[in-house]
Structure 1
Amino acid sequence: MGNPATGPAAEQAESGPRQRGATIAQVAAQAGVSITTAWKVANGRSDVSLGTRRKVQAALIDQGYRPRSRNPRRTRLIEFVVHELESAWVLELVKGVQQAARANRAALVFSELEGRVTPLDSWLTDVLERHPLAVVSAFSVPPEEHRKSLAAAGVPLVAIDPVTELADRTPSVSVANWNGGLAATRHLLALGHRRIGMISGPPDILCGRARLDGYRAALDSAQVPVDPELIRHGDFLVGGGLREARALLALERPPTAVFVGNDIQALGVYEAAREAGLRIPADLSVVGFDDLPLTPWMGPALTTIRQPLSDMGAAALTMALNIANGEPPPHSEQIFPAELVVRASTAPPA
């Protein structure tokens, strides 16, 4: 026998104005579905077709409906969504996420998107069936329909370094990417470089665009013209760094320094320099971004921009749990500072 204080019948029986918004019956009437179906969607049940779920979600949002109480089946699971697990960047985030989860006696469930930055509809169905406390998404953002479904089910979402602007102000944790790009380029300018190449990430990725904008701003403030042929878009992978660095070094007037959008691509730049018979930093200075554990061991040790990935992961999970406990953060976005770490890969131009 079900709990008499919960379920569609109990919510239908409510009378008078609700402090939390409309009744489930009003939501069902607007969506043109049964009260049971509306209740299932409102409480995170996955056994509703996608089309029906979208209609009910729209009614839930329009009516300002909130479930009477938190789902009694909610587990102490945190859904951690990543674009891929074979990433040194993700592994640093995992350290912080796991530490915070352990401190809060929560467990992690990993969802790998196999390189995609947007989950499939099947992912949403699986998540709703697991009834997690919250979802933390790293370098990947569920589409708007998924975000609405999670909100309707009372499952908060926090994004780490979201790949795109989020119009619905989904809470997020990131680093000061623009400031990092500015600091990296200013460091090279201070050394005397004027032909500074930039290997960014994909043009549709938010953090890559911000780092590129910081690069441009540094050149503008130093009254150094921005040369479009010195700007290349990589893929944040070693191969992309190698490909784009080869193209830069093949120019009639190649750069004397390169700012690379992440440390992994910097590995490709090192290989391109070796192929061209160039020495780092005597012939080519290189600055990366991330400060992954491998960077002090590169030959030579890489000058880079540090983002505190472990701290960012811990902050995102803590934020998600606080929201799940009814304690929304004072600001929807938490931005960590970006710090220049000078090592052996930069020097004045020859």
Structure 2
Amino acid sequence: MPTGSSTTRRTTLAMVADAAGVSLPTASKVLNGRGDVASATRARVEQAARELGYVPPVGRRSVTPARVVDLVFDDLVSPYSLEVLRGVTEAGAEVGVDVVVSRIPAEKEDANPTRSTPDAWANRLKASGREGIIIVTSELTLEQVESFDRAGLPLVVIDPLNLPRVEVTSVGATNFSGGLAATEHLLSLGHRRIGFAGGPVRAACGQARLHGYRAALEKAGVTPDPELVRHGAFSYPAGLEMGTQLLELDDPPSAVFAASDTTALGVVEAARRRGLRVPDDLSVVGFDDTILATLATPALTVVQQPLFDMGRVALRTLLRLAAGESLDSHHVELATSLVVRDSTAPRRGE
């Protein structure tokens, strides 16, 4: 044998399997893109392959198939959704995870049961190799949550309308504190009849904002008036309707706290249609701080919800669940803050 020759030991599939603590067939499934492997197991195999520098034999598939998560919305067109989407996709790009965006599949009586049931939905995502699923501002059923559990598909929800089980992992904001801050701001401007244009009654985040609103009034010695509280969708049409109802009262409010930016813009339009000026005749506070808040005329005073950061935290939390890590808390709330712009002013006479 010629002197000076050297050989480099090639990393084999068996070595990857041994490093990951799995069988050879399981390692083969992962590195060939098969979806029928638990997320935590897949993560261990892929990490071992990367660390060992495994290169598949010629003609075989490339190592480490793309990591993918599903991001599911009820509403894909709102500025709120776009900010959350931006946070999730940026966090995914940082760790090499692709994000597939979709809407919650409808369940119809005449629909194909192999596609429309919660089990079919969960199994379809699992079979396609998804690491997990993030669901945004949607109302979940216990059946859906249990289907994800049975499929071994990690789940994180952002600003859920409800939580079918306390163990469901969620990311949200300090909605109570936000409602408190918005109402205290209006009280500091001398307003005492303050309307609340809220979200759906069933929405947990909307209820927390309502409780903050009531707490601020009671703290200031103002008795909450049930006539000043309205509920509807987090939307412009609902805001217009609620604003109209509030301003048609015999003793209308001088200010309104709206539970979303789009709701607030609907209230502003209701005031305009009655010949009222914002903020001279009516002060309005929104909630979210989407791009609509700064583009509005006048620019909206809002409770800023960290939507971008909520998306980032949700993605990172999901990947921790997929890797089999334990969480310190199943429920994370990021801090809100009040941003004062041009839609609020002291009550006339103050």
TM-score interval (norm. to shorter): 0.7 to 0.9
| Within-5 A mapping of 1:36-55 | none
Question: Which residue does 1:182 correspond to in 2?
Answer: 180
Matches of 2:204 and 2:86 in 1, distance apart? Answer: 24
- Per the alignment, in what secondary structure is the counterpart of residue 345 of structure 1? coil
Match of 1:256 in 2: 254
Amino acid at match of 2:347: P
How does 1:184-199 map onto structure 2 within 5 Å?
184-199=182-197
SS at the partner of 2:294? helix
Say whether the 8 Å CA contact 1:75–1:132 is kept in structure 2.
Answer: no
Structure 1 residue 103 corresponds to structure 2 residue 97: no
Alignment-mate amino acid for residue 327 of structure 1: E
Query: C-alpha displacement at 1:342, in angstroms?
Result: 0.5
* In 2, Cα distance between equivalents of 1:193 and 1:67: 54
**1:337: which partner in 2?**
335
Q: Is 1:282 matched up with 2:273? A: no
CA separation in 2, counterparts of 1:81 and 1:330?
A: 25
Picking from 116, 128, 131, the partner of 1:130 is 128
Q: Matched residue pairs, number?
A: 292
- In structure 2, do the counterparts of structure 1 residues 302 and 94 end up closer, same or farther at CA, with 3 Å as the change threshold? same
- Give 1:110's aligned amino acid: V
Question: Structure 1 stretch 169-178 or stretch 106-115: which is displaced more?
Answer: 106-115
Counterpart in 1 of 2:310? 312
- What's the secondary structure of 1:220's corresponding residue? helix
CA distance in 2, matches of 1:243, 1:315: 35
| Contact in 2 for aligned 1:44/1:150 (Cα 8 Å) | no
Alignment partner, residue 273 of structure 1 = 271
Q: Which amino acid aligns with 1:272?
A: A
Q: TM-score, normalised by structure 2?
A: 0.77
From 83, 90, 93, the equivalent of 1:92 is 83
Q: Distance in 2 between matches of 1:245 and 1:272?
A: 5
Q: Deviations over 1:263-294 (max 9, x none)?
A: 00111111111100001111000000000112
User: 1:135-174, aligned counterparts within 5 Å?
Assistant: 135-174=133-172
1:84-105 CA-to-partner distances (Å, cap 9, x unmatched) read 2111100000111000111111
Pair 68,248 (structure 1): closer, same or farther in 2 beyond 3 Å: closer
Gap change, CA 1:114 and 1:264, over 3 Å in 2: farther
- Tell me which moved more, 320-329 or 251-260: 320-329
Q: Secondary structure at the match of 2:168?
A: coil
Change in 2 beyond 3 A, CA 1:229/1:70: same
Of 307, 319, 322 in structure 2, the residue corresponding to residue 324 of structure 1 is 322
Could you tell me which amino acid in structure 2 is paired with residue 250 of structure 1? E
Task: Describe the SS at the equivalent of 1:278.
Answer: coil
Partner of residue 219 from structure 1, selected from 217, 220, 223: 217
Q: Secondary structure at the match of 1:158?
A: strand
Preserved contact between residue 81 and residue 113 of structure 1 (Cα < 8 Å): yes
Name structure 2 gaps, 5 residues minimum: 1-16, 27-33, 46-63, 108-115
**What CA RMSD, in Å, does the superposition of the two structures yield over aligned residues?**
2.7
Structure 1: gaps spanning 5 or more residues? 9-42, 46-65
Paired with 1:159 and 1:68, the residues of 2 have a C-alpha distance of: 20
Offset at residue 142 of structure 1 (A): 4.0
SS at match of 1:294: helix
Normalised by the length of structure 1, the TM-score is 0.77
